[in-house]
Structure 1
Amino acid sequence: MVDCNLTNSSLRFVSLTKLTELDVSRSELDSDLLTGIDQLLLLEKLNLAFCDLTKLPFRFDSLINLRELDISHNKLHSDSLVGIDNLALLETLNLSSCDATKPPFKFDSLPKLKELDVSYNKFDCDSHVDIGKLGFLEKLNLHFCNLRKLPFRFESLNNLKELDVGENKLASEFFNDIEKLVSLRKLNLSCCELTKLPFCFDSLTKLKELKVSGNKLDSGSLAGIDKIALLETLNLSSCDLTKLPFSTLNRECATAVMYGDQLSTSEKKEVYKFVSQFKEVFNDIPGSTSILEHKINLMSEELIKRKPCPVPYAIREQLQKYLDEMETLGIIQKSQSPYSAPIVRVPKPDGSNCICVDIED
C-alpha cells in the first residue's frame, strides 16, 4: 500500500509490481506523473480523488483486479475513462463531481458493483443510463445529477440499501414502485420538488434514515411514516408542514419498554442495555428466525388438503395487505405443496386481527 502527497515528484510504477493499494488523493498532480499505473497488475484499490486531473494517461484495461476506484472531484471527460468496462471485479466506484455528462461505460459490464457514486455530475437528460442492470448494487448516489427521470426500475435493484436522488427535479410518479426496495436502509429525496409521495411506508420496514426536506409536502403525503419502527433519522425541514404526520405517543419500540419498579437502578440499566442491543426485536414488526426449523410429524401418509375458510368482505383488503407484508418481510412464502391448511382470523382486544393457521384435522 502507498499513501502519499505528491507535487513535482513522480513514482516509477514499474518497480512496484506487488502493489495492491495506491492512494495519491488530494495531491496537485500533473497527469503525466501517473503514467505507468496500468502496469500495477495486482492493484485492488486506487484513489485519485481531488487531484485536479483533466485526463488520465493510462487505460484501465490491464487493472483487471481492481475492486475499489475513486477518481472523484477531477475534471475528467468520459473519453478519459477508457477501459472501465473491463473492470469486471469492481465493487466500489466513485465518479462524484467529475463534470461528466454521461456514464463512461455500460453498466452491464460491471456485474459485481455494489457501491456507485455519480453525484454532482450534470448528466444529459436524454442520455441512456441503465443502472437497473446492476443487480448486486447496495449503495447508489445520484444526488444533483440534473435528472428528470430515474434511469432504472426499482424492482431490478432489490439489493439496494442506500439511495440518494436528492436535488433532482423528479416527478412524483417516478417513485410509484419504490416500496419494492424492501432492503432499503437510507433514502434521500430532499429538494426534488415533490408535492406528494406516491408510495406507502408500510413495506419500507428496514428504513433507518429518511430525508424528504425541501419538498412541498402536506401531512397527508407522509401518512404511515410512523409504521417505520426502525427509523432513527428523519428530516422534514422546509416541507411546509402545519402538523406532524405521526403520533409521538404509544409507539411500540425499544424506547417504549417499561421497567418494573421492583428493579434496582443497576438492574434497569442492564435491562436497558439488553433492549438497546436487540432493538430490532422490540418493535411492532413481526420477524422470523433461521436458527431453528419447526417440523410437523404426520401420523400417516394420507394427504391433508383442507379448503380455505370464508373471509368476510369487510376485511379482505386488510387481510391481503397483511399477507403481502408478511411475504415482503420473509415470514411467509408462496408454496406449491400438495398439503394445505386454512388461515383463520382471531380478533385482538385493540380491534386488529391476528392471522393464524388452523392445522387441526
Structure 2
Amino acid sequence: MATQTQRPEGEVLPANQTQQPEGEVLPTDQTQQPEGEALPADETQQPEEEDPWNDDGVSVGDSSEDGSLASLRSSIIDYRRENGRTYHRLKEGKYVMPNDEREQDRLDLAHNLWLATWDNKLCNCPKVNGAKRVLDVGTGTGIWAMEYADEHPEATVIGVDLSPIQPGFVAPNCSFEIDDLEEDWTWSRPFDFIFIRSMIASFSSWPDMITKAYEHLEPGGYVELHDNKFPLKCQGGPMPDDYAPNKWTKLLVEGCSKAGRPSNLADSFKQMLEDAGFVDVEERKAIWPFNPWPKDKKLHHLGLLCQANAFMGIEGASMAIFTRVLGWTPEETTVFCAEVRNEHRKIGVQAYYDVYSVWGRKPEKDAENDEAEQP
C-alpha cells in the first residue's frame, strides 16, 4: 500500500548527499530550499534565468544551514518508533506502512512486481515516452522516479513522499521532496505527467487527490494510477471462510475504512478520472496470484513475486492498522501474521488480487471544451 510518495513544495533531498541512515542527522553544510516553505533562503544562489532542471523557487545553496533548518531536517529523520518498526515523522500517523529498511526492501521488490505485471513498462499511457516534467506521488524509495529519469534524460522528474528514504546520488534530472500531498500543492509550473502508484490507504479523499492532479497538469497532460484492490478473490470456487489470508485482507479493508483511508477503491479509479474531467480514460486490468498456483508462466512468476512481497510486508501492513485502529495487541498481531504467512505458502487456494492501471488526459485548453459544448 503503499504509498508509492508529494504545496508547500516539500523539502528537496540534495543530489550530492547520500540518504542518511535511520537516526542520523543530515549534514548541515548544504541547504535545499523548497518552494513556498518558510525556510531560510540564500537569494544569491538563484539563477538569473530559468533552469529547466530545477523546480520553481527551488535552489541548492552552499551556505551553512541555520539552526531552524537543521532542526527541521533533524526532526524529519527522527522517525517514530512503534512496535519494533519505524514510521514517518512528518504528519505522523497519516501513512500506516513503516519506512524502515525492511519496508524499503519490500518497496523495491514491489516495483519489480509492477514491472513484471505490465511487461516491463514503467507506465502504460502515452507518456511512456515524451514527458518533460513528471511528478511521482508517493515515491517511496524513489526507484520508479530514478528509472524514469534514467530512461528519459530530457525529462525533469520530481518524487515526493512523507519519508526521506530516497538516495542522495541520483541523475541530475531527478530530485526528491518531502511533503504531504493532502495539503495544498503550490507548484507554479504544471506537469505533463503525474504518476500515482500503490497509494491505497494513503488518502482520505481520492477524488480530491485526482482533482489536484488535474489542476496541476498542463492541457494535454496525463495522470496514471496503479493499484491493487483488497480484499482477495478466489478463482474456481468460493473463498474458504477459514483461510487466514482472506481474513487478513478483510481486516485490512475494515481497519483502513475505520481510519478514513480506504483500501478498496482501485476499481473506481476510471470513474473518478472521468468525473474530474479527464478524457480518453483507459483502464487496464490484470491479476496478482497470491502465490505461485497458476500454471501459466507469467502468472506463476507474478505469484512468486506477490508471495515474496507479502512475506516481507504482512506484518508491516498490519501492525499499525491492527493496533491503532482495530484494538489488537502487538502480540496478537504478530501471531496472526505468522498464521497468514504459513497459509500463504499453501497453493491449494487459488487466491488473487485484481490490479489496475488507469490513465486519462487533461483536455487541451479551450478547444476540446468548446467543441464539446457545441450543439
Work out which of the two has the higher radius of gyration on C-alpha atoms and give 1 or 2: 1
TM-score (norm 1): 0.27
Structure scoring higher RCO (CA < 8 A, sep ≥ 6) equals 2
Structure ranking higher in helix proportion: 2
Structure ranking higher in strand proportion: 2
TM-score (norm 2): 0.26
